[in-house]
C-alpha cells in the first residue's frame, strides 16, 4: 500500500489542477445587430474544447427578446432579435455562455450587443406627420425633412415640427402652398422647397409659386420667384444640390443659386427640365421633355435622344415626350436617369471602351436583374456608393461597389413578415442619412419608412 501512496497523491494533485476554473471565456460578437436578421456569437474554440457542456442564454429579460435559431450548446450559435415594438434608436441584449468541465466547474462570460430596429415606419396619427402621402424626403445632420401633400415636416428622430401655408402665413417668405414637389437641404441646413397648388382640372392650371427656403439655424424663411435677379420661372420641377450651387430646373431652363455669394444666374433650355445632376467634370446633365441635354457654363455641349442612345432613352407613348423623373451622378462618374421606362445609365468616361455599352437601360424582370418597377421616381447613394431607387413597385438597389458589384436587389411591402417595413410598394422618394446610416423612404399613403443599413 505504501508503494501506491505517491501515485494516489499525484492523482489527487492532478484532480485538483483539473478542477481549477479556467480563465474568462473569450466571446466574439457583433457590436450592433438589426432586428429580424440572423446573427451569431462564438466562444474561443480552444477554451470550448476543454468543456464538456456549453450553454448560451439571454441574461436580461426586460429588453429585446432573443430567439435562438441553432443549438444553444454550440460553439457559435445563431440567433435573431424580435422587433423592438417602437422606433427607438438602439437597445441592448446581454448574452451569457457557460462552460462546464468534466468536474462540474462552471466558467461564464457575458457580452452586451446593441440592437437597432432594421425597419421602422412612421404614420399619422401615431406619428405627428402632416400626411401619409410623402412626396419628397431630404436629410442632413441627422434631421429629416419630409415633404407631403399637406406641407413640410421636420423630424429630429424624436420630435416632429410642421410647416404649412397656413402656419407660416404671417411669416415673411413662408410656404406659398402645401403640395411639395421638390426638396433639398444644404450642408448649412438651409431647406429648399418647391411647392404648388394642384388644379382640379389639369396640371396645366396648377398654381406655381417658385421656391421657398427655410433657414433652420436662424428659423427664418425666404421666397424666390420669377424676376430679373431670381428664378427664370415660377414653375419649378426639380431641385439638385451641387454645392457650392443649388440647381433649379424649371419649364424654361435652369436657374443656379450660388450659395456662397447668394446670387442667381440662369440659362434657357428649349424643353422643360424635369431632372438635373452635376457631373464630376462640372457639367449639368438635364433630363428634359426633349431628351438629355449636357450644359457647361450655361452653354449646351451635347444632347442625347432615343436614336443617339440606341433606344435607351424612351419617349412616352402617351405624350410623345421623354419622361424623366430623377438624375444622379455616382462616385465613379456614371450618370443615372430615372425614366418611366426604367433606369438609364451613361457609363463613366474612364469605364468606357470596354465591353460595357456607353448607354444602358435597366428594366424590371430583365435577365441579369433590374429595378422592382420601370416606374422610377428617385435616386440616392448610400455611404458605400451604392445606388438606391424609389419605384412604383418597391425599393431597389444596384450595387456599384463591394462584393455584390453589378447585382440588383429589391424590397417590397410584406406586412406579414416585415410589419414595420414598407407599408406600400408605391415609393415616391428615398434619401440617405449619413449621420445614422439610415435610408428614409417616402411612400404614397404608407407614410415614412426608415431602413438601417447596418453597423
- Tens digits of per-residue pLDDT, 82-93? 887 677 778 899
> Is 165's pLDDT higher than 80?
yes
Task: Kindly state whether residue 15 falls inside one of the protein's structural domains.
Answer: no
248 confidence band (pLDDT: 50, 70, 90): very high
Mean pLDDT confidence for 406-411: 96
Find the farthest-apart pair of alpha carbons in the chain and give their distance in angstroms, rounded.
Answer: 115
Is there a single domain that holds both residue 111 and residue 130? no
Residue 5 lies in a domain: no
Q: Which of 57-71, 127-141, 146-160 has the lowest mean pLDDT?
A: 57-71
Least confident of 141-150, 199-208, 213-222, 257-266: 199-208
For the segment 278-287, the average pLDDT, to the nearest whole number, is 97
| Same domain flag for 136 and 100 | no
Same domain, 426 and 374: yes
Question: Based on the domain organization, do 339 and 201 belong to the same domain?
Answer: yes
pLDDT of amino acid 16: 35
As a whole number, mean pLDDT of residues 423-452 equals 97
Residues with Cβ < 8 Å from 374, sequence gap 6 or more?
Answer: 339, 340, 341, 342, 363, 364, 391
C-alpha cell at 181: 414637389
At residue 85, φ and ψ (nearest 5 deg) are 70, 0
Last residue of a domain, one of 116, 134, 161: 116
Instruction: Tell me: pLDDT of 3 over 70.
Output: no
CATH of the domain at 290: 2.130.10.10
Supply the CATH number for residue 108's domain.
Answer: 2.60.40.1080
Q: Is the pLDDT of residue 177 over 70?
A: yes
Look at 44 and 177; give whichever has higher pLDDT. 177
- pTM for the full predicted model: 0.90
Lowest-confidence pick of 98-107, 133-142, 380-389: 98-107
Decide: 66 and 93 in contact? Cβ < 8 Å.
yes
Say yes or no: 123 and 109 in one domain.
no
Q: What is the pLDDT of residue 70?
A: 81
Q: Give the mean pLDDT of 213-228.
A: 94
Instruction: Based on the fold, state whether residues 367 and 443 are members of the same structural domain.
Output: yes
Structural domain count of the chain: 2
Give phi and psi for 337, each to the nearest 5. Answer: -125, 135
Distance between terminal CA atoms of the chain? Answer: 66
Q: Which of 77, 100, 116 is the last residue before a domain boundary? A: 116
Mean pLDDT score, 422-443: 97
- Range ranked top by mean pLDDT from 4-8, 160-164, 304-308: 160-164
Residue 49: per-residue pLDDT:
67
Domain that holds residue 57: 21-116
Q: Both 247 and 125 in a single domain?
A: yes
Last residue of a domain, one of 95, 116, 137: 116
pLDDT band at 406 (very low <50, low <70, confident <90, very high): very high
DSSP label at residue 75: S
Determine the pLDDT at residue 421.
92
Report the mean per-residue pLDDT for the chain: 90
Q: Report the alpha-carbon distance of residue 316 to residue 137 in Å, rounded.
A: 27
**Shared domain check, 375 and 432:** yes
pLDDT greater than 60 at residue 205: yes
Q: Considering the chain, what percentage of its residues have pLDDT values greater than 90?
A: 71
Please report which confidence band the pLDDT of residue 353 belongs to, taking 50, 70 and 90 as the band edges. confident
The C-alpha angle with vertex 202 and arms to 271 and 286, in degrees rounded to 5, equals 20
CB–CB of 88/411 below 8 Å?
A: no
The HSE-up count of residue 237 (CA atoms within 13 Å, CB side) is 23
The pLDDT of residue 23? 53
Would you place residue 14 in the very low, low, confident or very high pLDDT band (cuts 50, 70, 90)? very low
Task: Please say if the pLDDT value at position 327 is more than 90.
Answer: yes
Amino acid at each position: 500500500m505504501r508503494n501506491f501512496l505517491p501515485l494516489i497523491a499525484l492523482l489527487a494533485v492532478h484532480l485538483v489542477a483539473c478542477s481549477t476554473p479556467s480563465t474568462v471565456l473569450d466571446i466574439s460578437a457583433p457590436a450592433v445587430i438589426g432586428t429580424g436578421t440572423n446573427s451569431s456569437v462564438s466562444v474561443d474554440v480552444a477554451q470550448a474544447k476543454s468543456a464538456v457542456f456549453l450553454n448560451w442564454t439571454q441574461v436580461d429579460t426586460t429588453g429585446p427578446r432573443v430567439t435562438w435559431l441553432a443549438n444553444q450548446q454550440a460553439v457559435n450559435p445563431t440567433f435573431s432579435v424580435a422587433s423592438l415594438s417602437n422606433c427607438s434608436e438602439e437597445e441592448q441584449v446581454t448574452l451569457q455562455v457557460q462552460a462546464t468541465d468534466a468536474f462540474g466547474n462552471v466558467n461564464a462570460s457575458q457580452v452586451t450587443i446593441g440592437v437597432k430596429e432594421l425597419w421602422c415606419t412612421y404614420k399619422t396619427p401615431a406619428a405627428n406627420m402632416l400626411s401619409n402621402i410623402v412626396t419628397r424626403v431630404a436629410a442632413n445632420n441627422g434631421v429629416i425633412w419630409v415633404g407631403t401633400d399637406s406641407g413640410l415636416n421636420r423630424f429630429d428622430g424624436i420630435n416632429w415640427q410642421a410647416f404649412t401655408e397656413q402656419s407660416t402665413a404671417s411669416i415673411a417668405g413662408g410656404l406659398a402652398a402645401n403640395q411639395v414637389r421638390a426638396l433639398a437641404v444644404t450642408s448649412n441646413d438651409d431647406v429648399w422647397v418647391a411647392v404648388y397648388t394642384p388644379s382640379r382640372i389639369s396640371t396645366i392650371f396648377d398654381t406655381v409659386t417658385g421656391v421657398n427656403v427655410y433657414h433652420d439655424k436662424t428659423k427664418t424663411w425666404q421666397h424666390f420667384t420669377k424676376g430679373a435677379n431670381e428664378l427664370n420661372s415660377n414653375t419649378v420641377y426639380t431641385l439638385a444640390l451641387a454645392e457650392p450651387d443649388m440647381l433649379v430646373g424649371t419649364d424654361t431652363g435652369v436657374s443656379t443659386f450660388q450659395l456662397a455669394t447668394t446670387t442667381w444666374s440662369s440659362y434657357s433650355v428649349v424643353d422643360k427640365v424635369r431632372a438635373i445632376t452635376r457631373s464630376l467634370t462640372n457639367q449639368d446633365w438635364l433630363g428634359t421633355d426633349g431628351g438629355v441635354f449636357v450644359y457647361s457654363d450655361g452653354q449646351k455641349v451635347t444632347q442625347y435622344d432615343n436614336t443617339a442612345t440606341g433606344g435607351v432613352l424612351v419617349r412616352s407613348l402617351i405624350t410623345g415626350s421623354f419622361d424623366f423623373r430623377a438624375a444622379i451622378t455616382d462616385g465613379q462618374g456614371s450618370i443615372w436617369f430615372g425614366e418611366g421606362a426604367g433606369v438609364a445609365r451613361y457609363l463613366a468616361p474612364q469605364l468606357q471602351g470596354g465591353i460595357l455599352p456607353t448607354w444602358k437601360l435597366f428594366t424590371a424582370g430583365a435577365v441579369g436583374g433590374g429595378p422592382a418597377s420601370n416606374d422610377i421616381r428617385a435616386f440616392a447613394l448610400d455611404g458605400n456608393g451604392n445606388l438606391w431607387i424609389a419605384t412604383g413597385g418597391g425599393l431597389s438597389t444596384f450595387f456599384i461597389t463591394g462584393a455584390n458589384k453589378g447585382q440588383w436587389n429589391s424590397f417590397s411591402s410584406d406586412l406579414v413578415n416585415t410589419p414595420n417595413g414598407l407599408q406600400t410598394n408605391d415609393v415616391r422618394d428615398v434619401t440617405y442619412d449619413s449621420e445614422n446610416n439610415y435610408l428614409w423612404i417616402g411612400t404614397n399613403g404608407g407614410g415614412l419608412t426608415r431602413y438601417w443599413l447596418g453597423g
